[in-house]
Amino acid sequence: MRFNKIIYIRYIPLTAKIYKDFYMDEVVKVGIDVEYWDISALFFKQDFKQEDSSFLTNTRRINSYNELKKAIIELQPLSDKLFISIMTFEGRVLKLYKLFTKYNCTLAVFGRNMLPLSVQNNKSISYIIKNLSFEKIKRYLDTKSIIKGKENGSIKSYDIMFLGGTEGWKGIGIINEKDVFKAEIVNVNSDDYDNYLMFKNDEPILTTDYILFLDEYLPLHPDTLLFDIKNVSEQQYYPELNAYFDRVEKQYEMPVVIAAHPKASRYKEEDFFNGRQVFFEKTLQLTKNAHFVLAHDTTSINYAISFEKKLHFITSKNIFNEINMVHRNTVNFANFLGCNLQWFDKEEPINLIENFPLENYKRYRYGFQTSFETENKFSKDIFINFLKE
């Protein structure tokens, strides 16, 4: 074995999805020890009531940098230990990566599930000043420090990068093509593409015609609390969206069904979509047989691209004003893929594309989902074979 222990490290408690997406069970089955280091206490003062599935594997909760330092020292020698970071490489991890550098830890990261980048919104100076906070200033300075540290060698970048598509590395954080060139590159797939390979032959969920909406739980997503992100109002978003679905259903004479976001817990208790069918954990299967797909900027559009389904992107004045990044991402998806965009709060016919933009979908496929080398392979097999070399 190339490594006899893998340490996954993240500033959020372990979830079942992370356990699955990073192949922890498969790693254990081939005889490699696994630990999950939960360093939430180093980054967040409060408990955001996130899922905690730490029972799934050996989990170590670390409450201080001194404790983290001791944990790293206890692992020596480190030559056969691999640290896999499940965090964005940016200012807030500066102190953490100084420790990794000091003890020359072998660092790996997964650069996958990247999306086409939207054009940055040029905010006015008055807006920036108005929204300044101590935390934002500190994060900005730490980000500048981590960039400078990489340049002078006091902060190490990643030794190994598992990349999904030619653009996958852009989702890692503050790295550049020089960092990619220095690293050992292993081609893998995006999570969604692996799911597509696994479930593409599943039986249909519905046998009648329908249009699919890829829900993002926009007004209520728990990450908006975790990272203090501004959001849209549920009192405005859902009525406008349902009125739009009414128009879609009238024009196409088929129902809109909802592929619920996995964290949309309130959907299980309340009716947000005026009686429409809501499905959990069936997004891929529903996409396969949809007439076409409605979306904002969700990563689940990957399934529509894999199944070569027409996409129709929607935004609103409310989204534009309150969460402009979502609006810009939605516009960017439409432009990149050659699909149409519509403001769902305006009374106008649905202008779905007539001709399918196959070349645009292929460009997305190999840029963000997979590679010619891996498009018929599962990432978990690639990963395990790498560790066993």
User: Where do we find the tokens 């406008």?
Assistant: 240
- The predicted model scores a pTM of 0.85
* 217 has pLDDT over 80: yes
Residues 109-116 have a mean pLDDT of 92
Question: Concatenated DSSP letters for 155-184?
Answer: S---SEEEEESTTGGGGSBS--HHHHHHSE
Is residue 164 exposed (0-12), middle (13-18) or buried (19+ Cβ within 10 Å)?
buried
Span 53-95, pLDDT tens digits: 999 999 999 999 999 999 999 999 999 999 999 999 988 899 9
Residues 117 and 217 in one domain: no
When pLDDT is averaged across residues 329-347 and rounded to a whole number, the result is 96
- Which CATH number covers residue 282? 3.40.50.2000
State whether 11 and 105 are in the same domain. Answer: yes
> Is 167 in the same domain as 236?
no
Q: For residue 91, tell me if it sits in a domain.
A: yes
Other C-beta atoms closer than 10 Å to the C-beta of 388 total 12
382 in the same domain as 346? no
Residue 46 forms part of a structural domain: yes
Same domain? 258 vs 148: no
Q: Is residue 197 part of a domain?
A: no
Integer Cα distance of 88 and 71 in angstroms: 22
Q: Does residue 344 carry a pLDDT above 70?
A: yes
196 within domain boundaries: no
Q: What percent of the chain has pLDDT over 90?
A: 77
34 in any annotated domain: yes
Predicted confidence at residue 327, as pLDDT, reads: 95
Q: Please state, rounded to an integer, the average pLDDT across all residues of the chain.
A: 91
Four-CA torsion 24, 104, 155, 229, nearest 10 degrees: 20
Could you give the C-alpha distances from 74 to 5, 11, 81, 158, in angstroms and in order? 13, 21, 12, 22
- Same domain, yes or no: 109 and 206: no
Domain assignment present for residue 157? The answer is yes
CA dist 266 → 16, 124, 271, 278 (Å): 20, 37, 9, 12
- Please report, in angstroms and rounded to a whole number, the separation of the first and last CA atoms in the chain: 6
Domain that holds residue 181: 5-190+370-388
Q: Are residues 361 and 383 in the same domain?
A: no
My answer on whether 21 and 145 are in the same domain is yes
Q: Which residues contact 96 (CB under 8 A, 6 or more apart)?
A: 39, 42, 65, 68
Q: Where residue 184 sits, what CATH number does that domain have?
A: 3.40.50.11190
Shared-domain flag, residues 350 and 381: no
- Reported confidence tier of residue 318, pLDDT bands at 50, 70, 90: very high
Q: Could you tell me if residue 334 is inside a domain?
A: yes
- pLDDT classification of 127: cutoffs 50, 70, 90: very low
Same domain, 159 and 222: no
Cβ(2)–Cβ(44) below 8 Å: no
Indicate whether 275 and 299 sit together in one domain. Answer: yes
Domain count across the chain: 2
**Shared domain check, 316 and 172:** no
